[in-house]
């Protein structure tokens, strides 16, 4: 990726970002800064870490990424004057993020889905939409399914 000021979903999927974050973190063993992730995925230009920070901030809201708490010399979480916890500039995957990045279908499920005809794919899409929005899927899952769809559609238009 060359000289890109933004890290748009249509160009770089949440899954790719989460996998890059995990690579930099050492496969779930630590934390990574947005600068480290930007360098890892090859973004250059002015302040490339800003694009990564923006995407990671959204991932925190979706529940797929965690931010590291700032701590005092005794290991206690630091709070600002309004009583909100303070954070460092480090990030890592949450359990939901790990599933989004590395989850796989069972082989039997993949085979069954691969055999669907076009009309059945439409029905499956309707079912997934209802399941993720109306039938109690977590907000994390709903948002990540929606974003995965947006990325996939954008790739088909290229």
Give tens-digit pLDDT for 98-138.
Answer: 998 999 999 999 999 999 999 998 999 888 888 887 766 77
Say if residue 54 is in the same domain as residue 119: no
Say if residue 55 is in the same domain as residue 132: no
Write out pLDDT tens, residues 14-30.
999 999 999 999 876 79
Q: What is the DSSP letter of 45?
A: S
> SS3 for 33?
strand
Write out pLDDT tens, residues 50-70.
999 999 999 999 889 999 999
Domains in the chain, number: 2
Read off the pTM. Answer: 0.82
Say if residue 41 is in the same domain as residue 78: yes
Q: Are 149 and 124 in contact (CB under 8 A)?
A: no
Q: Are 86 and 70 in contact (CB under 8 A)?
A: yes
Q: Are 43 and 52 in contact (CB under 8 A)?
A: yes
In angstroms, the CA 87 to CA 70 distance is 5
Of the candidates 59, 81, 102, which is a domain's last residue?
102
Position 5 in a domain: no
User: Residue 117's domain spans which residues?
Assistant: 107-156
Angle at the Cα of 57 from the Cα atoms of 52 and 60, rounded to 5 degrees: 125
Residue with tokens 């109306």: 134
Within a 10 A sphere around the Cβ of 101, how many other Cβ atoms? 19
Q: Are 7 and 55 in contact (CB under 8 A)?
A: yes
Write out pLDDT tens, residues 34-50.
999 999 998 877 888 89
Q: Which residue has the higher pLDDT, 146 or 80?
A: 80
In angstroms, the CA 120 to CA 45 distance is 45
> SS3 for 88?
strand
């Amino acid at each position: 990726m060359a000289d890109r000021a933004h890290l748009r979903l249509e160009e770089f999927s949440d899954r790719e970002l989460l996998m890059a974050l995990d690579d930099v973190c050492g496969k779930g063993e630590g934390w990574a800064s947005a600068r480290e992730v930007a360098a890892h995925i090859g973004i250059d230009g002015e302040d490339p870490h800003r694009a990564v920070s923006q995407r990671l901030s959204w991932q925190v809201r979706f529940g797929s990424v965690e931010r590291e708490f700032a701590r005092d010399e005794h290991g206690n979480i630091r709070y600002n004057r309004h009583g909100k916890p303070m954070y460092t500039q480090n990030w890592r995957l949450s359990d939901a993020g790990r599933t989004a990045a590395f989850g796989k279908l069972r082989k039997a499920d993949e085979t069954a889905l691969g055999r669907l005809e076009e009309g059945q794919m439409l029905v499956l899409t309707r079912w997934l939409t209802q399941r993720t929005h109306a039938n109690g899927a977590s907000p994390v899952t709903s948002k990540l399914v929606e974003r995965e769809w947006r990325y996939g559609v954008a790739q088909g238009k290229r």
